[in-house]
Amino acid sequence: MSEPAIEHRRVKVLFSAEQIARRNAELAAEIAQSQPKDLLVVAVLKGSFMFAADLMRELHKVGLAPQMEFMHLSSYRTGMTSSGQVTILRDVESDVRDRDILLVDDILESGRTLAFAIDLLAARGARVTTCCLLEKPGKRAVQVTPTYVGFTCPDHFVVGYGMDVAHSFRELPFIGVIEMPA
Ligand code: IMP
Ligand code: MG
């Protein structure tokens, strides 16, 4: 595939749409093996929207019938550095007490976002497992280990497949790295 030039910047493909689709099917099979009961998928917005939508369809294919909720959290505002603080922009609507929850996020870096979401839902009485599409090793500021991981991600700022830099590039069907102009 040729590398697209967007806003005069090129995005180098790191994980192709085909690779992502194959991995999503594997993740769904792993999740089904855990035999979740009355599963509620909670997607952490915005970055996980595309991954969560594809994963839901794969979960259907392996015979699960999860319900879905969204939680909009923010730790990155604009730019590439973490503010270190997580804020709830929108909370889930359902009562999560005694439910099996699969928390879905795009990328695990410092771990603050995921740890925050796990603590919040666990405090409400949910049984929480987690699925992160990408994991950047060696970047953890808080101790958190996702139950399911799509890919280990090199230590670059990545975009596409729902992930953004300054609100752009979410529409790309693949995960890529922006090549900075020299
Ligand atoms: P953490 O709280 O530091 O683990 O950061 C997790 C959140 O930061 C993710 O859910 C993303 O929304 C965002 N993030 C971290 N690294 C990247 C990246 O390389 N590209 C786009 N977003 C990122
Ligand atoms: Mg996110």
Instruction: Split the chain (182 residues) into runs of 10 and give each run's mean pLDDT.
Output: 61 97 98 95 97 98 98 73 81 95 96 95 97 94 95 94 93 92 66
Give a yes or no: residue 84 inside a domain. Answer: yes
Quick one: pLDDT at residue 59? 98
Report CA torsion sign: 127, 19, 109, 69. negative
Kindly identify the ligand whose nearest atom is closest to the C-alpha of 82.
1
Give the atom of ligand 1 at the shortest distance from the alpha carbon of 44. Answer: 10
- The residue written with tokens 């040729």 in the block is 2
Total structural domains within the chain: 1
Kindly identify the ligand whose nearest atom is closest to the C-alpha of 141.
1
Q: What residues are paired with 91 via a beta bridge?
A: none
Q: What residues are paired with 149 via a beta bridge?
A: 132
| Beta carbon of 176 within 6 Å of any ligand 1 atom | no
Which residues, at least 6 apart from 115, have a Cβ–Cβ distance to it below 8 Å?
A: 142, 143, 144
Indicate the angle between helix axes 49-61 and 17-33, nearest 10 degrees.
Answer: 50
pLDDT digits (tens, 9 = 90+) for 89-136: 999 999 999 999 999 999 999 999 999 999 999 999 999 999 999 999
Quick one: pLDDT at residue 49? 98
- Which residue range is the domain that position 58 belongs to? 17-154
Which residues, at least 6 apart from 96, have a Cβ–Cβ distance to it below 8 Å?
A: 40, 42, 121, 124, 125, 126
Give a yes or no: residue 10 inside a domain. Answer: no
Give the atom of ligand 1 at the shortest distance from the alpha carbon of 156. Answer: 19
Give a yes or no: residue 168 inside a domain. Answer: no
Give a yes or no: residue 166 inside a domain. Answer: no
User: Using omega within 30 degrees of 0 as the cis cutoff, is the peptide bond preceding 61 cis?
Assistant: no
Give a yes or no: residue 34 inside a domain. Answer: yes
Give a yes or no: residue 1 inside a domain. Answer: no
- The residue written with tokens 């929108």 in the block is 90
Q: How would you list the strands of the sheet with 87-90, edge to edge? A: 87-90, 67-74, 40-45, 100-108, 127-135, 148-152
Give the atom of ligand 1 at the shortest distance from the alpha carbon of 136. Answer: 16
Residue nearest to atom 22 of ligand 1 (CA): 163
Quick one: pLDDT at residue 48? 98
Give a yes or no: residue 176 inside a domain. Answer: no
Give a yes or no: residue 3 inside a domain. Answer: no
Q: Mutation test of ligand 1: which of 46, 106, 156 has the most ligand atoms closer than 8 Å to its C-beta?
A: 106
Residue nearest to atom 19 of ligand 1 (CA): 157
CATH number for the domain that contains residue 73 = 3.40.50.2020
Dist. CA 56 → ligand 1 center (Å): 21
